[in-house]
Structure 1
Amino acid sequence: MNTSISLNGLWDFVVDLDPRYHTKPYYALPDWNRRHWSKVPVPGVWNLYDRRYDLFEGVGWFARELTLPPLPEGTTCLLRFGGVNYLCEVYLNGELAGTHEGGYTEFTVEVSHLVRSGRNVLAVRVDNRSLEMRLPPLLGYFNYGGIHRDVTLEVYPGAYLTDVGYEAYPEGEDGVLRLFGQAAKVEGGGYEVEVTCAGHTQREAVAPDGRFQLEWKVPGVTPWSPETPVLYPTRLTLQRGGQVEYQREFTVGFRRIAVRDRGVELNGKPLRFRGLCYVYDSPTYGLVMHPAQYETDLRLLQEMGANAIRSHFPLSEGFLHACDRAGILVWLEIPTYCIDTRLPHCRHAFTDPSLLQLALNMLEEMIRQARLHPSVCLYGIGNECDLNAPGAAEFFRQLATRARELDPTRLLSYACLYLFGVPDHLAELVDVVGLNEYWGWYDQVMDDDLPLETPPSSPPRTVDLRALQQLLDELATSCHKPVLLTEFGADSIPGYRSANRDFWSEDYHALLLRETLALADRYPFICGTFPFVFCDYRDPSKLVSAHWNGLNYKGVVTYERRKKLPFEAVREAYTQHKSGSSPPH
């Protein structure tokens, strides 16, 4: 039967300070002397291995040995990487096994033809140079480098599954489970899939091409929701003649999300997203999604009364499991982020077939992982791009089409900045329109060196949201789809309090969030809000100035997860609507 071997732990590591000169992969050679390499943890990011690597962008090499017993002829071996930022080359025993582009999605590399009994040497070349990056095309969050998620070796002596997904939804007192997938190495026939969920078992034959699908009613299930995040342990086996060749275990949540009458429903009931944007970054773990950090984050989110997060990039398997258990709804998106064709390196982005293929690959990798998680309810296909650029309409049409092919059960959205120039073709592609807006902030602090404090005699500062109100009034009649406020907020320097509610103070930040949330509540077609952002985080896009100093300060908690005054503003607003339904209008 299949086995999975964790390759997490200490690896050898070295940086390559002249990768353009070192054109041959000497560091991948099995017998290369690594006496002067460092021992480092994987998962990890080199920025935290040593102070000298904190701002390093370049090429790093990772290597480790693994000892394997003799394997039966025909055994399939796959290396699975949860996330490597950004470009990587994977070598086994000195031979190139595969490559990957993209920092946040899970991928596999087959190494069956390279595996030996006894000693094997695995080497991975990682390149996080920002000039080599295509998605995201610019750095709105810190550019960590390394193998930052789990690594496993999966061994399949016989038949196995290359893909599995499910659709599960409540129907009356019962649940309907439709499970589907693709099997490999099933030549000769006679294979069947057996699935046990909530104590009920179903079997189905595997087709000659390896495809299978089962659908049946599971009696007496509790629908999954933020209030009742009930999960049912599920076991899937692939067998022939009663002999199990492959087994996988996961959990199933029965829930249905849909758009109805300019609103969103979960299990047939109105749903209001009480969300926050979530740019994961940890002072202790960097980009590594460690349970000690994300469990703290989830507790703080629940204390605020939040039931949802929006991430700018795909998240780890462990974190998604935690959201399933906690009842936190998740918006995931690929980093098609701020593609602005006025920038020289983005000028032909939407007409570049290779960039479209990269985005499609990222989307597919994200969805194949996410569709096993009931917490994931929204896929974002882009954020603040130049939608009127040549080729943009076709670019996003292909992303939306592929997303619906892979998973028609979840909603699609796109986050538009101020909704300026949003073409009709985009609105028709998505189920929910996302609105990013920073009125009350960037329209007020364009001069970053304005004084931090106002004179003591000045009246307390107020928030001007007239432009937002005017836009929402227009959307009430011009937009026929639900709208989410997907970004809004201000920066506040931790600990800076101001009786006059000066810019950059926690007091002004809290007031802006409080008034924006109250304004959103007045419009029935707004089905949720996502203030930007949960925590302060490292942000290279912000100019170092009188106020910014390497961190984006829009968090309602600090980088170290200490509560700021805006935390209370969000908590007060969200706990008023803790039921999850839309507020009265």
Structure 2
Amino acid sequence: MYKKFILTYLLLQSIALFAQQNLLVNVYSRPVQSLNGKWNYIVDPYENGYYNYRYEPFDKQEKPSKSAFFMNAKQEDKTELLEYNFDKSPTLNVPGDWNTQTDSLFFYEGTLWYKKSFDYVSKKEGNRAFLYFGAVNYHADVYLNGKKLGTHTGGFTPFNFEVTGKLKDKDNFVVVKVDNKRCKECVPTLNTDWFNYGGITRDVQLVEVAATFIREYEIQLNPKNNKQLTGFIKLDGQAAANKKITVTIPELKIKKQITTDGDGTAQVTIDVKNVKYWSPENPHLYNVLITAGDDVLSDKIGFRTITTKGHNIVLNGKNVFLRGICIHEESPNNGKRVSTIEDARTLLTWAKDLGCNYVRLAHYPHNEHMLRLADEMGILVWEEIPVYWTIDWKNADTYANAENQLTEVITRDRNRASVIIWSMANETPSLPERNTFLGKLAKHSRSMDPTRLISAAMEQSNYEGNPLVKTIDDPFADVVDVLSFNQYIGWYDGLPEKCNEVTWKITQDKPVVISEFGADAKAGYHADKLTRFSEEYQEDLYVQTLKMLSKIEQLQGLSPWILKDFRSPRRQLPGLQDGWNRKGLYSDKGEKKKAFYILKAFYDAKAKQ
């Protein structure tokens, strides 16, 4: 009995220490208590709430000082010196970025503390509870009732901590130290072309599950046999081994029982027939029910295959041309981080209005709303982690961070039929250490999910030194399934008329997707087609670029840059940029520019072919 107690204790300690690396999936369908809403906050640029005056962390002390902000202390008598009070501090909305909620924090990069008080009553004795964050940008230290739960690094992926046995019926408080300072070893690194929104930017929820619950699962069509579902279901808990699990798909008349192994994992192999394959034309989703004892979890999953053959991309056995657009995670009609399903639906509806069957979610994992809606609306998706421009390639911690972000997004979205491409990077230099870095990421991605394609947004170069013949000379081109690259002929490289002179020599027998092209234009600014930042310049560039790219034999898709204007501190030209990247086909106020109609006409014609 004592030995069993020790093993149970060690298991629980392991879960408590490393819970952020064992992600709960499908929180969408689980019983939750939302902690969204008003959170008190304290701005702390000197991090006085974390370090004492000797720069020693309070949370490393055996008995932390009440001066530590995570203690949420209150003055007990009038003689006590205490220099903070969350309950008297202002509030911010969660989810949301801090930059656009108060003018004084617009460009703030540093530490800000959040606090939320709440009550909690378990629905059933013996159940377990987890504190789940959709995303926090960038580094989070999380405390519950004055005790540290753990940390998470990475601004765009979910994480959670087990809080079973740590909650009270009344007067709980969670404190989160959020630090969005950019750093050389971060992912992304110091230099980006988007706004560094800080804060708790996605939902915060208390998730209650059974004592032994469904931690993770994947149920997809076998990429080598479209008459078979394959995957796995992973249980978590003391009763996880040799446990009966039932998978039910009523529409397909499937009720399959499987049994976990000693590790709590059960392999899924189910023969199916008469499957309605998910596609942009028919985004059919099946209700899938997984039952493991007291834990019952439902999901809506589409079944489809995605492969390549020569220079074709093949969806459900048929060639598909990706009519796409890039999207940043900013709200449709203003500059702030997307946090609502309504904003996500608007962005994807704009893409469909453009004639898109595909979107590239740049340059980081977006809110889960986007993927769920893409499934529902029939939009193919490229997902990307923020390995962007020049990462600290030789730093082992930087690689571990990138791999963890990749793990978290694959874990979250591996059952979304809309996701067809995992992207490893954007516009990275071809260096030996970079090639090793990206090669390891690609290998990790394939080990986690062999059902999807691998790509990266690479850069083009001159073929045999000829500036008018472009090619892809990059060792990582041999690793990817889809050859993708960004090109800006006519904007950063000459004028639009140069597109008439340039040809392409692609030596790899792989499908080519142009991951970016474009030009800036301020909505409503009209001039001749040679005037930079005019709608006419952008319009002409789209006309000339589409003619040029259509001559590439292997061309199987496009995702021009970008759906709508977005904030970027790099873009400072007064009167035209004013802190916005203006390459959107929609303005920051949702106005369509002239180039929108050029691309729409091109896509409408492609859809009829």
Length-normalised TM-score, structure 1: 0.88
Give identity over the alignment, percent: 31
CA–CA distance in structure 1, aligned partners of residues 549 and 310 of structure 2: 18
Matched, 1:555 2:584: yes
| Equivalent residue number for residue 402 of structure 1 | 444
Could you say what secondary structure the match of 2:445 adopts? helix
Contact 1:510 1:565 in 2 (8 A): yes
Matched, 1:313 2:347: no
| Equivalent residue number for residue 273 of structure 2 | 219
Q: 1:259-270, aligned counterparts within 5 Å?
A: 259-270=308-319
Contact 1:514 1:573 in 2 (8 A): no
- In the alignment, which of 337, 345, 353 is matched to residue 388 of structure 2? 337
CA–CA distance in structure 1, aligned partners of residues 122 and 511 of structure 2: 58
CA deviation string 1:72-120 (max 9, x = no partner)? 7764322111111101011001111010111001111222353334331
Matched, 1:63 2:97: no
- In the alignment, which of 45, 52, 57 is matched to residue 104 of structure 2? 52
Matched, 1:119 2:171: yes
CA deviation string 1:175-226 (max 9, x = no partner)? 5322312111143855211111224221111112100122213332211111
Partner AA of 2:565 in structure 1: D
- In the alignment, which of 282, 296, 319 is matched to residue 228 of structure 1? 282
| Equivalent residue number for residue 494 of structure 2 | 444
| Equivalent residue number for residue 348 of structure 2 | 298
Matched, 1:391 2:433: yes
Matched, 1:7 2:51: no
Contact 2:241 2:264 in 1 (8 A): no
Paired residues in the alignment total 544
Q: 1:371-386, aligned counterparts within 5 Å?
A: 371-386=414-429
CA deviation string 1:224-254 (max 9, x = no partner)? 1111111111111112xxxxx2121111111
Q: Over the residues paired in the alignment, what is the CA RMSD in angstroms?
A: 2.4
Measured at CA, do residues 188 and 126 of structure 1 come closer, stay the same or move farther in structure 2, by a change above 3 Å?
closer
Contact 1:289 1:319 in 2 (8 A): no
Could you say what secondary structure the match of 1:35 adopts? helix
Measured at CA, do residues 305 and 7 of structure 1 come closer, stay the same or move farther in structure 2, by a change above 3 Å?
same
Could you say what secondary structure the match of 2:143 adopts? strand
Which region of structure 1 is more displaced relative to structure 2, 268-277 or 149-158? 149-158
Contact 1:484 1:526 in 2 (8 A): yes
Cα drift, residue 284 of structure 1: 4.3
| Equivalent residue number for residue 532 of structure 2 | 503
| Equivalent residue number for residue 214 of structure 2 | 161
CA–CA distance in structure 1, aligned partners of residues 529 and 448 of structure 2: 52
Contact 1:92 1:120 in 2 (8 A): yes
Cα drift, residue 29 of structure 1: 1.3
Which region of structure 1 is more displaced relative to structure 2, 505-514 or 275-284? 275-284
Partner AA of 1:463 in structure 2: E
Q: 1:21-420, aligned counterparts within 5 Å?
A: 22-23=50-51, 24=58, 26-32=68-74, 33-69=85-121, 75-112=127-164, 114-131=166-183, 134-137=186-189, 138-168=191-221, 175-187=227-239, 189-197=241-249, 198=251, 199-239=253-293, 245-282=294-331, 283-284=333-334, 286-311=336-361, 312-339=363-390, 349-388=392-431, 390-419=432-461
Contact 2:185 2:395 in 1 (8 A): no
| Equivalent residue number for residue 453 of structure 1 | none
Contact 2:242 2:261 in 1 (8 A): no
Cα drift, residue 48 of structure 1: 2.1
Could you say what secondary structure the match of 2:96 adopts? coil
| Equivalent residue number for residue 459 of structure 1 | none
Cα drift, residue 144 of structure 1: 0.6
Contact 2:130 2:208 in 1 (8 A): yes
Partner AA of 1:159 in structure 2: T
Unpaired runs of 5+ residues, structure 2, are: 1-28, 52-57, 60-67, 75-84, 463-470
CA–CA distance in structure 2, aligned partners of residues 356 and 45 of structure 1: 27
Partner AA of 2:389 in structure 1: C
Contact 1:77 1:156 in 2 (8 A): yes
Could you say what secondary structure the match of 1:528 adopts? strand
Could you say what secondary structure the match of 2:93 adopts? strand
Q: 1:513-528, aligned counterparts within 5 Å?
A: 513-528=542-557
Measured at CA, do residues 285 and 76 of structure 1 come closer, stay the same or move farther in structure 2, by a change above 3 Å?
farther
Cα drift, residue 492 of structure 1: 0.6
CA–CA distance in structure 1, aligned partners of residues 50 and 223 of structure 2: 58
CA deviation string 1:250-309 (max 9, x = no partner)? 111111111002111111111101011111212547113322222222222111111111
Which region of structure 1 is more displaced relative to structure 2, 407-416 or 218-227? 218-227
Partner AA of 1:314 in structure 2: P
CA–CA distance in structure 2, aligned partners of residues 187 and 297 of structure 1: 44
CA–CA distance in structure 1, aligned partners of residues 240 and 142 of structure 2: 33
Contact 2:383 2:421 in 1 (8 A): yes
Could you say what secondary structure the match of 1:98 adopts? strand
CA–CA distance in structure 2, aligned partners of residues 97 and 164 of structure 1: 25
Contact 1:86 1:133 in 2 (8 A): no
Could you say what secondary structure the match of 1:148 adopts? coil
CA deviation string 1:397-423 (max 9, x = no partner)? 110000000111110001112246965
Contact 1:186 1:210 in 2 (8 A): no
Contact 1:195 1:235 in 2 (8 A): yes
- In the alignment, which of 445, 460, 463 is matched to residue 497 of structure 2? 463
Could you say what secondary structure the match of 2:231 adopts? strand
Contact 1:176 1:217 in 2 (8 A): yes
| Equivalent residue number for residue 3 of structure 2 | none
Cα drift, residue 122 of structure 1: 0.8
Cα drift, residue 500 of structure 1: 4.4
Which region of structure 1 is more displaced relative to structure 2, 553-562 or 510-519? 510-519
Cα drift, residue 30 of structure 1: 4.0
Could you say what secondary structure the match of 1:465 adopts? helix
CA–CA distance in structure 2, aligned partners of residues 269 and 523 of structure 1: 20
Measured at CA, do residues 51 and 204 of structure 1 come closer, stay the same or move farther in structure 2, by a change above 3 Å?
same
Cα drift, residue 2 of structure 1: 7.1
CA deviation string 1:514-537 (max 9, x = no partner)? 221233223330110111111000
Contact 1:367 1:407 in 2 (8 A): yes
Cα drift, residue 485 of structure 1: 0.7
Measured at CA, do residues 488 and 235 of structure 1 come closer, stay the same or move farther in structure 2, by a change above 3 Å?
same
Unpaired runs of 5+ residues, structure 1, are: 240-244, 340-345, 446-461
Partner AA of 2:600 in structure 1: R
- In the alignment, which of 435, 447, 471 is matched to residue 485 of structure 2? 435
